[in-house]
């Protein structure tokens, strides 16, 4: 019997990606169906349903699901869910009862869907409830406001992983694969470390704190779309692998990736991160400063506080809260506000955004920011960018710390 946490909802993993003859038959049938174009975010959500990362969902959500999640974290069936997983369109001709092919931005047929409901939403309401703002400078708000006029609900059949396995190989692990890996290593207490950045010294410190009390850490990198100026997944993966090889004990870290786009929803996204890490088999989610945040839309520890605000038992995966971490000159190493008695003048506060800003401006990284081996990987990437590609990173809010 497995000692890992149960998939969300308490049942078995529910991957919706077809295989073998069923896949071939549905692909052929999809060619004759009316097509609905998906955004990058919607495509990532569909792939997550395909690999079982969004267990136990069987498709895109209804209006009752949408409203229940926005206002109370619950789908119509009572299942806890923190952010709506919806599909939108401006197509006036599609209607409930239609079967459609779901097509990515690149034109690939990714799945099929039986439409059970077509409905409109109050986009501003979703933005306020999920993102705590309607400011269209917020990238998550911008995504919601750019959605089509209608949402489409219904069960899906997934036909593709979007090429993630071909592109990333062993790093693109499904929930079934991470669970099998944890079992083979004898792990049951596994902390997930969420990142959209290369791992700098503060990230390394967080992961090592977790390793002291856990069987191991899953460094789980986002492989989907980011905002301009963020470092691409391939570069991040190389930087993380370099850090793990040089600075972590063997058999304590597994690096993997998942196919979602960032929503930048701060506290609500932290809950989503915990939910799907439960499906991947992780018992804990490391939650540090400004988890999944952007700019100064959220307080630095709002993503930790929200776990105390949801109904008890909503998730089996629990948060591992870690305080503000930094390099302290007097301590001579990494520390946190809970362990360091010195003043802010002695502390060098680190963030992924600050590292990216320095790199984009051609500055060397101090050893307090990043291990030399990691810095070399990142410097090589930035040196190869054209002036147009080298997006200047603006430091705002907590990211400027």
Q: Which residues are catalytic?
A: 196-197
Phi/psi region, residue 9 (left: phi>0; alpha: psi -120 to 50; beta: rest), is: left
Count of Cβ atoms closer than 10 Å to residue 24 Cβ: 12
Which residues face 334 on adjacent strands? 327
Rg (CA), the chain: 21
CA distances from 152 to 74, 105, 295, 329 (A): 19, 18, 32, 55
Question: How many CA within 13 A on the CB side of residue 252?
Answer: 17
Cα(182)–Cα(174) distance, rounded to whole angstroms? 12
Closest by CA to 144, choosing from 263, 275, 267, 266, is 263
Q: Are 151 and 120 in contact (CB under 8 A)?
A: yes
The strand pair at 284-287 and 253-258 is best described as unpaired
* Residue showing tokens 């054209």: 386
Does residue 311 contact residue 80 with C-beta atoms inside 8 Å? yes
The dihedral formed by the CA atoms of 86, 88, 93 and 95, expressed in degrees to the nearest 10: 10
By CB neighbour count within 10 A (0-12 exposed, 13-18 middle, 19+ buried), where does 361 fall? exposed
Residue 108 tokens read as: 């690939």
Structure tokens at 212: 């002291």
């Amino acid at each position: 019997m497995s000692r890992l946490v149960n998939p969300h909802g308490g049942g078995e993993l529910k991957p919706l990606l077809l295989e073998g003859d069923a896949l071939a038959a549905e692909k052929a049938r999809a060619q004759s169906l009316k097509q609905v174009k998906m955004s990058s975010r919607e495509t990532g959500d569909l792939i997550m349903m395909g690999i079982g990362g969004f267990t136990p969902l069987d498709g895109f959500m209804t209006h009752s699901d949408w409203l229940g999640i926005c206002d109370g974290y619950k789908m119509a069936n009572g299942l806890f869910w923190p952010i709506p997983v919806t599909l939108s369109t401006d197509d006036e001709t599609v209607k409930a009862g239609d079967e459609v092919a779901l097509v990515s931005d690149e034109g690939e047929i990714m799945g099929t869907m039986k439409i059970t409901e077509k409905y409109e939403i109050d986009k501003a309401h979703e933005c306020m409830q999920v993102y705590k703002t309607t400011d269209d400078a917020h990238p998550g708000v911008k995504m919601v406001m750019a959605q089509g006029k209608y949402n489409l609900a219904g069960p899906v059949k997934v036909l593709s992983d979007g090429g993630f396995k071909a592109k990333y190989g062993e790093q693109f692990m499904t929930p079934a694969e991470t669970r099998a890996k944890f079992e083979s290593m004898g792990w049951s207490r596994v902390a997930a470390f969420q990142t959209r950045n290369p791992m700098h010294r503060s990230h390394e410190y967080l992961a090592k704190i977790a390793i002291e009390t856990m069987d191991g850490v899953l460094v789980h990198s986002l492989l989907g779309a980011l905002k301009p100026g963020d470092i691409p997944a391939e570069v991040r993966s190389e930087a993380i692998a370099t850090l793990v090889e040089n600075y972590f004990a063997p058999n304590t870290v597994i690096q993997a990736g998942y196919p979602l786009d960032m929503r930048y929803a701060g506290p609500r996204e932290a809950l989503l991160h915990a939910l799907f890490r439960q499906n991947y088999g992780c018992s804990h989610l490391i939650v540090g400063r400004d988890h999944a945040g952007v700019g100064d839309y959220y307080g630095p520890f709002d993503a930790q506080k929200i776990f105390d605000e949801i109904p008890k038992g909503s998730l089996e995966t629990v948060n591992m809260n870690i305080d503000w971490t930094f390099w302290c000159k007097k301590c001579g190493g990494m520390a946190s506000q809970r362990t360091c008695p010195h003043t802010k003048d002695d502390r060098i506060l680190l963030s992924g955004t600050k590292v990216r800003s320095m790199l984009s401006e051609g500055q060397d990284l101090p050893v307090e920011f990043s291990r030399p081996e990691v810095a070399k990987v990142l410097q090589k990437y930035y040196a190869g960018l054209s002036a147009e590609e080298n997006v200047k990173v603006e430091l705002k809010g907590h990211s400027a710390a």
